[in-house]
């Protein structure tokens, strides 16, 4: 049976390939920022109507749809795609380049959404072949805290009934098109935003002795925080602390009154994460006050670490090998990037896997979040067929 289903799904993925590419190009040309995906949502709704699938709105711009297999009742599998874009000005010169200046699908969510629409097309076409239900979650706002996953979960995306599994995928340009990776265990980091204001007393740069120099204090604070993390984190526990914004806003001969900083803290362990928060706060207060200034040190807790369910990973690796061949299943290192799919993984057994979209021969190698990010669109057929096969086989597996 599996070989016949593999052939059928591959044929369907090829049949719908042009539709998926067209969807991706439309979405790429019309990107919208987090919590603003109104036109994207409307497009998804229009496409679902054309496919013949009912849906409902969730979390303002999210869309929830279901396909019931015609062979009878059974378990429910949820498939998730995110829809939002990033505040990046696109530098690609393609005929589907972003038409929304300063906004770009630089993280591949256009591909995620179009692939999920393609999966819906396939499963709707073969619904006579399976039992159970597939739920499609078109989620807003993965790129911006607090994240759309929390809102769609609160809105009932995992209720009535609760799915047996939740599956998500992400395009990855460092993996060759046609290949995938399914990492095991904790595979993506938690992510917290750090916002700091160091206040001193400004004045003439030639007379620092009558000022309290917040630039010098803040510089020392950045170095000391890095030392704290590197010395107190277990060397076997991946941990990253980075500051990407440092604004003094003085002048060549002016020491400012304050310095503003923003950074990110990421790790894989919940206990160490909270412990590090307290250590950083205490260090900031004592160091800055010891140098004559004051400090506002705020940590905005973001997404938790993402945990792939071990047993489900094993099952999906076997399913992927059946569909793609063992040579097309690769391994990747754990990522310090974060994903709000982690919230699904805290609720139900879940797996988040990576779809290769890179093509060095065609110079498609730019990383995620780059203004030159693009994908090998041949990967869309792979992604569509594989996700449909995952859903089909996991439903079948749960009935045996």
pLDDT tens across 119-128, in order? 999 999 999 9
Instruction: State both tokens at 190.
Output: 């938690």
Mean pLDDT (whole number) for 365-382: 98
Mean pLDDT (whole number) for 5-27: 98
Asked if omega into 161 is within 30° of 0 (cis), the reply is yes
Which residue has 């010891």 as its token pair?
290
Q: How far apart are CA 310 and CA 13, in angstroms?
A: 28
- Residue 75's closest CA among 86, 65, 66? 66
pLDDT computed for residue 277 by the predictor: 98
Residue 397 has pLDDT above 90, yes or no: no
Q: At what angle do helices 17-29 and 38-51 cross, to 10 degrees?
A: 160
Within 8 A by CB and 6+ apart from 374, the residues are 92, 94, 364, 366
- Residue 185's closest CA among 46, 325, 387, 332? 332
- Ramachandran angles phi, psi of 189, nearest 5°: -85, 160
pLDDT computed for residue 399 by the predictor: 76
Active-site amino acid positions: 84, 142
Q: Which residues of 231-261 are buried (b: 16+ CB within 10 A; e: fewer)?
A: eebeeeebbebebeeeebebeeeebbbbbbb
- What SS3 class is residue 242? strand
Which residue has 């039992």 as its token pair?
131
Which residue has 């699904």 as its token pair?
344
Mean pLDDT (whole number) for 209-214: 97
pLDDT computed for residue 398 by the predictor: 77
Torsion of CA 285, 287, 260, 214, to 10 degrees: 130
For β-strands 185-188 and 165-176, DSSP reports them as unpaired
pLDDT computed for residue 213 by the predictor: 98
- What SS3 class is residue 281? helix
Q: Which residues of 169-185 are buried (b: 16+ CB within 10 A; e: fewer)?
A: bbbbbebbbbbbbbbbe
* Confidence at 85, pLDDT banded by 50, 70, 90: very high
CA-to-CA dists, residue 45 to 25, 155, 169, 173, angstroms: 17, 18, 21, 29
Mean pLDDT (whole number) for 1-18: 90
Instruction: State both tokens at 60.
Output: 């303002």
Residue 52's CB: how many other CB atoms inside 10 A? Answer: 11
Within 8 A by CB and 6+ apart from 333, the residues are none
Mean model confidence pLDDT for the chain: 97
- Residue 238's closest CA among 154, 335, 313, 155? 335
Instruction: State both tokens at 73.
Output: 């009742």
Q: Tell me the β-bridge partners of 198.
A: 259, 295
Q: How far apart are CA 62 and CA 135, in angstroms?
A: 13
pLDDT computed for residue 2 by the predictor: 57
CA-to-CA dists, residue 53 to 10, 136, 164, angstroms: 21, 10, 21
Residue 1 has pLDDT above 60, yes or no: no
pLDDT tens column, 214-268:
999 999 999 999 999 999 999 999 999 999 999 999 999 999 999 999 999 999 9
Residue 3 has pLDDT above 80, yes or no: no
pLDDT computed for residue 400 by the predictor: 63
Q: Please, are residues 153 and 347 in contact by the beta-carbon 8 Å criterion?
A: yes
Q: Which domains does the chain have, with CATH numbers?
A: 2-188+304-398 (3.40.630.10), 192-301 (3.30.70.360)
* Confidence at 380, pLDDT banded by 50, 70, 90: very high
Residue 92 has pLDDT above 60, yes or no: yes
Q: Is 202 left (phi over 0), alpha (psi -120 to 50) or beta?
A: beta
Q: At what angle do helices 109-125 and 38-51 cross, to 10 degrees?
A: 20
Q: How far apart are CA 44 and CA 100, in angstroms?
A: 18
Mean pLDDT (whole number) for 118-137: 97
Mean pLDDT (whole number) for 46-61: 97
Q: Where in the chain does DSSP place strands (E)?
A: 55-58, 62-68, 76-82, 133-139, 165-176, 180-181, 185-188, 192-199, 203-204, 239-247, 254-255, 258-267, 294-301, 306-308, 329-330, 350-358
- Ramachandran angles phi, psi of 71, nearest 5°: -85, -5
Mean pLDDT (whole number) for 191-210: 97
């Amino acid at each position: 049976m599996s070989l016949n289903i593999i052939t059928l799904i591959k044929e369907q993925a090829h049949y719908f390939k042009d539709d998926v590419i067209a969807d991706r190009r439309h979405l790429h040309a019309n990107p919208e920022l987090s919590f603003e995906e109104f036109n994207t949502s409307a497009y998804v709704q229009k496409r679902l109507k054309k496919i013949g699938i009912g849906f409902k709105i969730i979390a303002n711009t999210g869309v929830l749809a279901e396909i019931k297999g015609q062979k009878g009742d059974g378990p429910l599998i949820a498939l998730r795609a995110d829809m939002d874009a990033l505040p990046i000005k696109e530098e690609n010169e393609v005929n589907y380049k972003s038409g929304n200046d300063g906004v770009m699908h630089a993280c591949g969510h256009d591909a995620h959404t179009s692939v999920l629409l393609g999966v819906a097309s396939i499963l709707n076409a073969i619904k006579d072949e399976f039992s159970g239900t597939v739920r499609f979650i078109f989620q807003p706002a993965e790129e911006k805290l607090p994240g759309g996953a929390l809102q769609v979960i609160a809105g009932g995306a995992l209720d009535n009934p609760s799915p047996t599994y939740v599956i998500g995928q992400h395009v990855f340009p460092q993996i060759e098109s046609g290949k995938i990776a399914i990492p095991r265990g904790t595979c993506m980091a938690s992510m917290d935003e750090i916002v700091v204001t160091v206040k001193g007393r400004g004045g003439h740069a030639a007379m620092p002795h009558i000022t309290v120099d917040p630039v010098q204090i803040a510089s020392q604070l950045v170095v000391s925080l890095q030392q704290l993390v590197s010395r107190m984190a277990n060397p076997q526990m991946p941990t990253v602390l980075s500051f990407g914004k440092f604004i003094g806003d003085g002048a060549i001969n002016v020491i400012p009154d304050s310095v503003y900083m923003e950074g990110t803290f990421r790790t894989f362990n919940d206990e160490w994460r909270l412990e590090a928060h307290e250590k950083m706060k205490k260090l900031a207060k004592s160091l800055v006050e010891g140098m004559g200034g004051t400090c506002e040190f705020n940590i905005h807790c973001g997404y938790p670490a993402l945990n792939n369910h071990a047993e489900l990973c094993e099952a999906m690796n076997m399913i992927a090998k059946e569909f793609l061949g063992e040579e097309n299943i690769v391994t990747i290192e754990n990522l310090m990037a974060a994903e709000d799919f982690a919230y699904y993984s805290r609720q139900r057994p879940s797996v988040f896997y990576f779809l290769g979209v890179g093509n060095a021969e065609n110079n498609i190698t730019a990383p995620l979040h780059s203004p030159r990010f693009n994908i090998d669109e041949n990967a869309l057929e792979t992604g569509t067929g594989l996700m449909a096969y995952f859903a089909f086989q996991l439903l079948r597996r749960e009935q045996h």
